Each structure stands twice: as C-alpha cells, then as structure tokens.
Structure 1
Amino acid sequence: MTDDKLVRMANQIATFFATQPDADKAAKVAAHLTDFWDPAMRAQLSAYAAQGGTGLDPLALDAAKLL
C-alpha cells in the first residue's frame, strides 16, 4: 500500500475518534488500528510515523506511536 493511502486512511480514523467523548483518543485510534488493520499495515504506519509522519493528523501520529 502506498504511504499516501495509508496516511489518508489513518487520518480518516483519527477524524472520527476526535469527535468522540473518550479521554484517551490516541489509544482508541490505536485500538481500532489493531482490531481492523492487518499487521503489515500497522508496521508500515509505525515505520512511517518513526520517520516523521509527514501528513499524519496529530492524533493519528500519536496512535501510530502506540502500536
């Protein structure tokens, strides 16, 4: 999967969870990624975040660091 598509998908998930009342939104995003993304996608997102995460929503970036 391209990084652009991965970023877009992670940002969409972060946008949804940003509207939820939960306190630890990054943990909720990370849990969603763990539940619904395959391990290769999570690994790619983690690696992308470790390289700076250009274009990732701050919430998605925080979640990626929790994976």
Structure 2
Amino acid sequence: MSPEKLARMANQIAAAFGHRPDDEAAAAVAAHVNDFWDPRMRAELLELIAGGASGLHPAVRDAAAAIRPAAAD
C-alpha cells in the first residue's frame, strides 16, 4: 500500500477518536490498528512513524509504542 494511503487511513482513525483526551486517542488508535490492520500494514505504518513521516496526526505518532509489530503475530 502506498505510504500516502496508509497515512491517510491512520489519520482518519485518529480523527474519529479526536474527541478523546490525547492519551486515550492514541490508545484507541493503537487498539484499532492492532485489531483490524493486517500485520504488513502495521509494519509499514511503524516504518512511516519511525522515519518521521510528516503529516501524521499526533495520536498516530503517539500510538506507535502500543502498535503490535508484525513479528508479534
């Protein structure tokens, strides 16, 4: 999947949880990604975050620590 599409999808998830406090939003983003995203997509998202991709919602960046790496599956 293209990095742009992955970032857009992650940002949409973060926006859906934008009404929550920052720490809760990040936890909700991580939970959604862990529950519904394919391991390859999670790995690509973690690479984007680690690479400092611009344009990612802060809740997406904050969720990185709680997103399961693909190897954990």
Q: Could you state the TM-score of these two structures normalised by the residue count of structure 2?
A: 0.81
Contact 1:53 1:61 in 2 (8 A): no
1:23, distance to aligned residue in structure 2 (A): 5.5
Q: Report the aligned-residue RMSD.
A: 1.7
Poorly superposed stretches of 4+, deviation over 3 Å: 20-23
Contact 2:22 2:59 in 1 (8 A): no
% identical equivalent positions: 54
Q: Find the counterpart in structure 2 of residue 12 from structure 1.
A: 12
- Number of corresponding residues: 67
Unaligned runs of 5+ in 1: none
Unaligned runs of 5+ in 2: 68-73
Q: Could you state the TM-score of these two structures normalised by the residue count of structure 1?
A: 0.88
**1:40 aligned to 2:66?**
no
1:19, distance to aligned residue in structure 2 (A): 1.8
Q: Report the Cα distance in structure 2 between the residues aligned to 1:52 and 1:32, rounded to whole angstroms.
A: 21
1:6-61 per-position Cα deviation (integer Å, ceiling 9, x unaligned): 00000000000112469521011100000110000000000110010211011111
